[in-house]
Structure 1
């Protein structure tokens, strides 16, 4: 479980390059927040990003707080995925853009569980970079994309899953891959509405 969380939520590691901004870098699984040593951000980033996420599995809620370097398009975003009837992921982000600044605390909205008419293939498999769906799951709220995602850590760890996603997660592959050189993320999405359908296969 912890290995999955460590890999799924690796959102707070940055490259050490030329200084352009200094941000706090930390991660915390307790839900209490985090504040650690600040460090210089990569030259291609321009803001400090503060995120709060929850992985919800049945009646268990696993919180994650991260602070890292990023870009403006990562600010004030609500991202979500549904991987199974009882498994979902929800993430909120805020930003600030001065050295050692403190972003507003991200707040997760009330999760909209209303089916939106779309459905996607769904599966989940540890120690693999692909999984074969045997059924579909109903998408909810603003989950208007079907997503296929893999996390490849070589011989150490791998994970594959499919499900429903908000559109903004589909454009985050470069962001994910820039956060940890030890893991390679693959993200692919399709838009059912663009195909005149209520579902699609990535």
Structure 2
């Protein structure tokens, strides 16, 4: 009975103080697992997460697997970004115990069905920003227009910007920063509904107003 009371007291103390998990932090190219140092998460709003990402650029695919503390809102996400030169597919799984190993994240299934949304699309490998007049027709669940920039520092340094179509769940994540041990990443994003359709509608309204003015003269 005393052991049960002791366990209950410890559990209550951990809950009341917002216990933070201890999770592995690492990254690996072309792998489906990695190992690294264990670190405490910032707060009890984080879980131990594994993220599987595949980036396809002009037909060439590269894979990245990472483990770190992940916000609970990111757990279970399976999302994608499409752009003229390729696609980014990513998925995150989580577990809720010290030093636990999440299950392998499952990437979203490809869907080539056009959904009626049109977005501007471009990529840049050395800037936070890219701008273009080129557009693309979105497919599947990618019903948001996105501008995303990612800065990587540490053992590997790079700055990448992409504009295109995105699933709602990746937009819901908002800006993110991760520490994988050897590298750190800061990702910023802005999502909107179909900007092309909005601009097109505004143009039609302006033309209609101009025509009405001419008829009144």
TM-score tier after normalising by the smaller chain length: 0.7 to 0.9
User: What is the RMSD computed on CA atoms of the aligned residues?
Assistant: 2.7
Deviation, 1:185, is 3.5
Alignment partner, residue 173 of structure 2: 172
Alignment partner, residue 206 of structure 2: none
* 5+ residue gaps, structure 2: 1-17, 201-217
- Asked if the contact 1:19–1:40 (Cα under 8 Å) also holds between the matched residues in 2, the reply is no
Q: Which secondary structure state, in structure 2, belongs to the residue aligned with residue 53 of structure 1?
A: strand
Q: Which secondary structure state, in structure 2, belongs to the residue aligned with residue 98 of structure 1?
A: coil
Q: Distance in 1 between matches of 2:111 and 2:90?
A: 13
- Asked if the contact 1:45–1:69 (Cα under 8 Å) also holds between the matched residues in 2, the reply is no
Distance of aligned partners of 1:58 and 1:35 in 2 relative to their CA distance in 1, 3 Å threshold = same
Bigger Rg, structure 1 or 2: 2
1:101 to 2:103 alignment: no
Alignment partner, residue 20 of structure 1: 20
Higher fraction of helix: 2
- Asked if the contact 1:190–1:200 (Cα under 8 Å) also holds between the matched residues in 2, the reply is no
- Asked if the contact 2:50–2:102 (Cα under 8 Å) also holds between the matched residues in 1, the reply is yes
Q: Distance in 2 between matches of 1:182 and 1:25?
A: 11
- Asked if the contact 2:178–2:186 (Cα under 8 Å) also holds between the matched residues in 1, the reply is no
Q: Deviations over 1:39-63 (max 9, x none)?
A: 2111253311111110012332211
TM-score normalised by structure 1 residue count: 0.76
* 5+ residue gaps, structure 1: 1-17
Alignment partner, residue 91 of structure 2: 92
Runs of at least 4 residues off by over 6 Å: none
Q: Distance in 2 between matches of 1:182 and 1:34?
A: 16
Deviation, 1:31, is 2.1
Deviation, 1:187, is 1.2
Q: Which secondary structure state, in structure 1, belongs to the residue aligned with residue 178 of structure 2?
A: coil
- Between 48-57 and 27-36, report the one with greater CA deviation: 27-36
Q: Distance in 2 between matches of 1:42 and 1:200?
A: 42
- Asked if the contact 2:68–2:178 (Cα under 8 Å) also holds between the matched residues in 1, the reply is no
TM-score normalised by structure 2 residue count: 0.71
Distance of aligned partners of 1:56 and 1:76 in 2 relative to their CA distance in 1, 3 Å threshold = same
Q: Distance in 1 between matches of 2:65 and 2:35?
A: 10
Q: How many residues align?
A: 177
Q: Distance in 2 between matches of 1:124 and 1:40?
A: 35
Q: Distance in 2 between matches of 1:133 and 1:183?
A: 25
Q: Deviations over 1:111-133 (max 9, x none)?
A: 11221111100111232222221
Q: Distance in 2 between matches of 1:36 and 1:184?
A: 20
